[in-house]
Amino acid sequence: MGLELMALVPALPIAGFAALVVIGRRLSRRAAAVLGVGSVGLAAIVAIAVAAAYLAAPPEGCSYTQDLWQWMRVDGFGPRIAFHLDALSLVMMLVVAVVSFLILLYSAEFMAGDEGFARFFAYMNLFVGSMLILVLADNLLLLYLGWEGVGLCSYLLIGFWYKDPANGRAAMKAFIVTRVGDAALVAALLLIFTSLGTLDIAEVGRRATNEWPAGSALAVAAALLLLGGAVGKSAQLPLQTWLPDAMAGPTPTSALIHAATMVTAGVYLVARMNVLFALAPPVQFLVAVIGAATLLLAGASGLAQHDIKRVLAYSTISQVGYMFLGLGVGAWGASIFHFLTHAFFKSLLFLAAGVVILNLGREHNMFRMGGLRKLLPLAFWTFLVGSLALAGLPPLAGFASKDLILYRTWTSTLGGPLLWLAGVVGIFLTSVYTFRMVFLVFFGPASRKPEGRSGAAMTVALVVLAAGCLLASVLGWPEALGGTPVLVNFLELALPEAPEHGGSAALEGVLSLVSVLTAIAGILVAYVLFLRERGLVERLYRSAVGSAVHSLWLAGWGFDRLYETVLVAPLAAIARLNRGDFVDIFYRLVGRLAVALHSILSFTQTGRVRWYAAGLAVGAIIILAIVVAL
């Protein structure tokens, strides 16, 4: 009976959204919070029940499809509203539902004084429902419906405080940049359907394997277009520019959409369509290269930011880069494991940062903070747990998942030492920018006194997420350290095994040691530069090279300026030159002709009745003459 409840998981948040839209303005804040948080909480409970039923009695073939109704039928094309549950979608469903509930619980307190309280929960509920549709969809068209739903909600929530024009611009930027990837995804769906005759995900995999030879033009084109959609939604190179500006939205929005769920939609898409990427080896290798380049560039940019949320935004881009690296080398399960751990520790970091921001009068600049270790103990300890997990230090889950990706990168036939080295350098950068935040915000002299304390809702969300950062490590503790990759083994029911050569427990132990020592080195560098010898950093900033590098990294390597110069400015110039729009020339001529005819005919309107009577007589004679003649 438990599996039949699956449709309720996305339905409950959507029902909450509908109710908030219809009656939200008439509800008290408490009632709106109960409706918004409660509907997602019920979805999380149902998701856990469905997962328990699946694990207790796995369905035949370890997958279950719930076919609800015919969506449409057009000339033989008949997609259905149907949900598919297997190991991959089960993990995604659980993470989205549970983490979303914790973030919405936190939001009930964080947004308490906001005038758009009910509207906020309506948007958040629609997002959660859309994301659950995306990860449970049985066919690519239904997946695309969820894909567009989360994109719409991202726009609405980034620009939630719409009275500030900067927020509107950030929302528009996110919508337009991700639209580039969305267009690629639409093209991929059209190519897949016209070539294979179906959008059913399982059937696409079977037909592609039978009809497309490995490396064929169609397989490469389809995989490239899918990758275009993935890099847009997951903020990877070259479409990563929207995510730092997306921090204009409320902090819970950043935690949910831009850290825990939506930005990993691209990761899910690549993992779900792994058959097509396996048929296009150059594109799969490109996935790994994009991931490696992104994690390095974003990690460096994170070192230069002053806004605590922008640091976390670049950190998100970098960590999703690790997931892409894992996908590119065939470590499918390891990437999804990192998605799970990242959802916990990055949500925790955003929410703990939200406590700091809220208690410092909406201050975001880390250089105006300091000394909050004892003034905000809950924020400090939970932020520290999240920071250790992000840096990849044991026994926290971030170490286990990142270590597994790097081990698979070294041993995979699709990877190698160079890609592994990029991941290790990324660990060093991660440790430095992460503990730069810790030392600037929580250590040193206190610059101002916090205005309040965290309430019960914030406390529960932070503590549970912190516990998740620790407990999730048991799902994939390294075998070299006596653990078992439980989650990865489970995910291999739905995903291929990573192609390996030369792997061993001893090698994994050595690589783990290198990762840990690299993370510790980064923490020590951050300690020296941003706590013990801050003057050294200031001298570096004042030097010509240091100033240039800092400006480059602060600006996100200049991608915004590049796109402004190469794309936006030329298009704007063309639009100004064609302000009149040549397409409208014909219609303007028609309009002017009508005006001219009106002017001519207006001379006949003299107001003299005898002229009108004479006109009628002449007209009648002409008509009669024509009739007689014909």
Task: Give the span between the Cα atoms of 524 and 541, in whole angstroms.
Answer: 20
Amino acid identity of residue 429, one-letter, is L
Cα distances from 198 to residues 79, 86, 208, in angstroms, run: 9, 20, 10
| Cis status of the peptide bond prior to 13, with omega within 30 of 0 | no
Contacts of 406 (CB under 8 A, 6+ apart): 420, 423, 424, 511, 515
Task: Judge contact between 431 and 526, C-beta under 8 A.
Answer: yes
What pLDDT, on the 0 to 100 scale, is given for residue 501?
Answer: 75
Helix (H, G, I), strand (E, B) or coil at 64: strand
β 64-70/80-85 pair status: antiparallel
What pLDDT, on the 0 to 100 scale, is given for residue 1?
Answer: 56
pTM for the full predicted model: 0.90
Helix (H) or strand (E) holding 69: strand 64-70
Task: Give the span between the Cα atoms of 400 and 407, in whole angstroms.
Answer: 10
Task: Give the span between the Cα atoms of 454 and 462, in whole angstroms.
Answer: 10
Question: Can you list the residues of the chain whose pLDDT is less than 70?
Answer: 1, 452-453, 580
Helix (H) or strand (E) holding 65: strand 64-70
Task: Judge contact between 392 and 515, C-beta under 8 A.
Answer: yes
For residue 140 the two structure tokens come to: 């690519």
- Please report the sign of the dihedral spanned by the C-alpha atoms of residue 244, residue 246, residue 251, residue 252: negative
Place of tokens 């380049």: 293
For residue 253 the two structure tokens come to: 């929005």
CA atoms within 13 A on the CB side of 175: 15
The CA-based dihedral angle spanning residues 233, 240, 325, 492, taken in that order and rounded to the nearest 10 degrees:
-10
**Helix 332-359 crosses helix 397-411 at what angle (to 10 degrees)?**
140
Contacts of 74 (CB under 8 A, 6+ apart): none
- Please state the domain extents for the chain: 1-279, 281-532, 580-629
- Nearest residue to 84 via CA among 42, 39, 142, 12: 142
Listing DSSP states for 505-539 in one string gives: HHHHHHHHHHHHHHHHHHHHHHHIIIII-HHHHHH
For residue 604 the two structure tokens come to: 């006949």
The residues facing 77 across adjacent strands are: 74
Listing DSSP states for 551-575 in one string gives: HHHHTGGGHHHHHIIIIIHHHHHHH
**pLDDT single digits (tens) 70-101:** 888 887 788 889 999 999 999 999 999 999 99
What pLDDT, on the 0 to 100 scale, is given for residue 483?
Answer: 83
Q: What is the 3-state secondary structure (H, E, C) of 192-229?
A: HHHHHCCCEHHHHHHHHHHHCCCCCHHHHHHHHHHHHH
| Cis status of the peptide bond prior to 238, with omega within 30 of 0 | yes
